Amino acid sequence: MHLILLGAPGVGKGTQAKKIVEKFNIPQISTGDILRKEVREETELGKKAKAIMERGELVPDDIILNMMEKRLNEPDCQKGFILDGFPRTIPQAEGLDKILQNKENVKLKVIEIFVPEEEIVRRLTSRRICSVCGRDYNLILTPPPANGKCESCGGEIIQRYDDKEETIRNRLKVYNQQTEPLIHYYSKKGNLYRVNGLNNVEDVFKEIENILDS
């Protein structure tokens, strides 16, 4: 199974990807998670990416495509994968097409999760994450423990540096300008499905399961 989860920041791509991993046993590849790891480890890429991510802008296509070509050639991706946060521009989608051309038995499905902007801002301003393991908490949905320590690893729970309201609004603008054109790109190819991300996590997952089983 080869799947792209498409959608604006905060629609629930990461949340749903984790549930798909559990059920279908294929890896989740999140370009955002890969970049945040580089930032934590203070690599050259991490230093460059941090400033861009803090502004809510996109890391250049050539860097992302290089990173993804390597990742998609790793052994765990040979039976399939869930792409979460990639591609995000038309050149990235064209680059992905080239990478997949050389692989056998790839039948790509693209699922767009849609949520209205004000709900996205509400979800992202209330998101908190563990600074060590990345576990997701949400002040509305899944509040963190009162001591501010992660239940999984004891790490400090923090707000993501791009989850300030001003940055969220810029991420949404960047999505509308640079990523939304991918909806047309994939609908022309006939492999795009749309799910309503306003429903609760379980109901969104049921809709996705139906698409993946079809």
Residue 39 Cα to chain centre, angstroms? 17
36, 88, 123, 128: the catalytic one is 88
Which of 4, 112, 127, 207 binds ligand AP5 (CB under 6 A)? It is 127
Question: Does 171 interact with ligand AP5 (rule: CB under 6 A)?
Answer: yes
142 vs 191, beta carbon nearer ligand AP5: 142
Residue 31 to residue 21: CA distance in whole angstroms? 16
Question: Does 14 interact with ligand AP5 (rule: CB under 6 A)?
Answer: yes
Question: Does 28 interact with ligand AP5 (rule: CB under 6 A)?
Answer: no
Residue 214 to residue 200: CA distance in whole angstroms? 22
13, 36, 123, 128: the catalytic one is 13
51 vs 104, beta carbon nearer ligand AP5: 51
Question: Does 32 interact with ligand AP5 (rule: CB under 6 A)?
Answer: yes
Residue with tokens 């250049």: 60
User: Which residue pairs, CB below 8 angstroms and at least 24 apart, start in 59-63?
Assistant: 59/31, 59/35, 61/89, 61/91, 61/92, 61/95
The partner residues of 193 in beta bridges, in order of sequence, read 111
Residue 132 to residue 135: CA distance in whole angstroms? 8
Binding site for ligand AP5 (CB under 6 A): 7, 9-15, 30-32, 35, 52-53, 56-59, 64, 85-86, 88, 92, 123-124, 127, 136, 138, 141, 162, 171, 197, 200-201, 204
**Residues labelled catalytic:** 13, 88, 127, 160, 171
